[in-house]
């Protein structure tokens, strides 16, 4: 396979190109949940008792970090969690107003808030709209009441369906839904019903995840005790592939490993992550990236809040080496339908690409990677075993 391209750019030129792009993203982590879902590995607290402490701390952090990405305009804002929809409209308004005072938002900015179905009503929809949110991400996970109960969700299938329709009727034309494939006790027919139900709703984005057992979760503990019976890898892959084909026939593009969207409705916020664009993360456990380094806040509400309040160290920071940047580029670019630019591989990443070229060639010959124009993309078959493929393509420094 010929990797020839029309030339490359060196590392310094690469970062000048990045710095010339004046956009940025903001992520706000809201850690509160009314209860902990059995599969969830994200940082959260199953209580609303610390909201006042959180609001004070995140406000202080916003002001303290206003110069983290100077001169950039906010292209995307994302409230994630946890469950951001447990915050009252007034609490959300305080954060949004402070962000708008400290940062320049583009008029066309995508503004997303993650919500749970039980929090969707006419009043909340109107409030979210009035605060400038123009995209909802609804944590449905399943349209089976039995499955929802088994994973400790607090809503019913009917609440999810009615809530999504209510949000659309209330003015949201950009609604995403999260679903999980491979839940304990979930049949292939149940997955098919979930996908058909989703297709019948006014949703234009789907995050479809294969269940993974995360450290520290209830499901991990049950797995260790032999109490959790899950579908095998091949069965899971077959169900995901069938769901993917059904979504594509319904007009959704499979644009990232776990994400599907109708044309024009890709998640701009997450796409910026995968393209290596800079962003600031606010709140306990949130991550930030400025192009040269990453930092992550303490994933503990009380320690984070105390450190912010007292002017202490509330985050850790890592400067990315050229090897780190190559490996991250491989992982993030091959997650998406756009794939990796050959110009980038042979330019700023050339020393590490050349060391792994034989692996790229092998995957191309096997049909797990394909060349499309000036890019190399992973096939959908490769996405099902992406962890192994990415690991093989990574450059590992000799010991």
What is the count of structural domains for the chain? 2
Confidence of residue 8 (pLDDT cuts 50, 70, 90): very low
Distances (CA, A) of 283 to 18, 49, 111, 203: 26, 16, 17, 29
Co-location of 84 and 157 in the same domain: yes
Q: Is residue 351 a part of any domain in this protein?
A: yes
- Under the banding of pLDDT at 50, 70 and 90, the label for residue 13 is very low
Query: Is residue 81 in a domain?
Result: yes
**pTM (two decimals):** 0.92
Q: How far is the C-alpha of 31 from the C-alpha of 28, rounded, in Å?
A: 10
Q: Are residues 365 and 253 in the same domain?
A: no
- Residue 2 pLDDT level (bands cut at 50, 70, 90): low
Q: Do residues 190 and 74 both lie within one domain? A: yes
In terms of domains, do 270 and 338 share one? Answer: no
Q: Is residue 8 part of a domain?
A: no
Crossing angle of helices 122-130 and 89-102, in 10° steps, is: 10
Domain that holds residue 105: 22-274
Say yes or no: 227 and 120 in one domain: yes
Kindly tell me if the per-residue pLDDT of 4 is higher than 50: no
Contact 43, 285 (CB under 8 A): yes
263 shares a domain with 376 = no
Question: Is residue 259 located within the same domain as residue 372?
Answer: no
Residue 16 lies in a domain: no
The reply to whether 252 and 135 lie within a common domain is yes
Within its chain, how far is the Cα of 191 from the centroid? 22
> Which is more confident, 17 or 373?
373
- pLDDT exceeds cutoff 90 at 6: no
pLDDT digits (tens, 9 = 90+) for 70-85: 999 999 999 999 999 9
Condensed to tens digits (0 to 9), the pLDDT of residues 289-328 reads 998 999 999 999 999 999 999 999 999 999 999 999 999 9
**CATH number reported for the structural domain that contains residue 187 in this entry:** 3.20.20.70
User: Is the predicted pLDDT of residue 164 greater than 70, yes or no?
Assistant: yes
Final residue belonging to a domain, choices 274, 295, 316: 274
Distance (Å, whole) CA 179 – CA 70: 37
Supply the pLDDT for residue 33: 95
Q: What is the pLDDT of residue 398?
A: 73
Is the four-CA dihedral 16, 22, 23, 25 of positive or negative sign?
positive
């Amino acid at each position: 396979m010929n990797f020839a391209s029309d030339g490359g750019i060196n590392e310094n030129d690469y970062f000048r190109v990045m710095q010339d792009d004046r956009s940025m993203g903001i992520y706000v982590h809201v850690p509160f949940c009314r209860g902990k879902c059995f599969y969830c590995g994200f940082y959260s607290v199953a209580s609303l008792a610390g909201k006042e402490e959180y609001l004070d701390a995140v406000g202080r952090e916003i002001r303290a970090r206003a110069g983290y990405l100077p001169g950039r305009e906010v292209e995307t804002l994302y409230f994630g969690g946890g469950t951001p929809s447990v915050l009252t409209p007034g609490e959300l308004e305080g954060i949004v107003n402070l962000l708008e005072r400290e940062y320049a938002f583009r008029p066309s900015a995508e503004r997303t808030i993650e919500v749970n179905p039980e929090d969707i009503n006419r009043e909340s929809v109107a409030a979210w709209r009035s605060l400038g949110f123009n995209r909802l991400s609804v944590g449905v996970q399943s349209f089976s009441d039995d499955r929802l109960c088994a994973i400790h969700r607090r809503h019913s299938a009917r609440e999810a369906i009615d809530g999504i329709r209510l949000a659309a009727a209330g003015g949201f034309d950009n609604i995403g839904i999260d679903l999980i494939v491979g839940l304990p006790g979930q049949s292939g027919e149940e997955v098919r019903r979930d996908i058909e139900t989703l297709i019948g709703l006014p949703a234009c984005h789907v995050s479809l995840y294969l269940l993974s057992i995360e450290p520290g979760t209830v499901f991990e503990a049950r797995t260790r005790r032999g109490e959790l019976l899950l579908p095998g890898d091949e069965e899971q892959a077959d169900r995901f592939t069938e769901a993917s084909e059904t979504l594509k026939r319904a007009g959704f593009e499979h644009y990232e490993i776990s994400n599907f969207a109708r044309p024009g409705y890709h998640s701009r916020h997450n796409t910026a992550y995968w393209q290596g664009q800079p962003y600031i993360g606010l709140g306990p456990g949130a991550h930030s990236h400025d192009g040269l380094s990453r930092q992550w806040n303490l994933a503990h509400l009380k320690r984070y809040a105390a450190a912010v309040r007292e002017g202490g160290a509330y985050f850790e920071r890592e400067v990315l080496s050229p090897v780190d940047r190559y490996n991250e580029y491989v992982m993030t670019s091959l997650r998406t339908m756009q794939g990796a630019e050959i110009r980038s591989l042979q330019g700023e990443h050339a020393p590490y690409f050349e060391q792994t070229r034989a692996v790229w060639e092998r995957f191309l010959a096997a049909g797990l990677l394909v060349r499309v124009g000036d890019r190399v993309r992973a096939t959908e078959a490769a996405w099902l075993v992406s962890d192994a493929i990415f690991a093989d393509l990574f450059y590992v420094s000799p010991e």
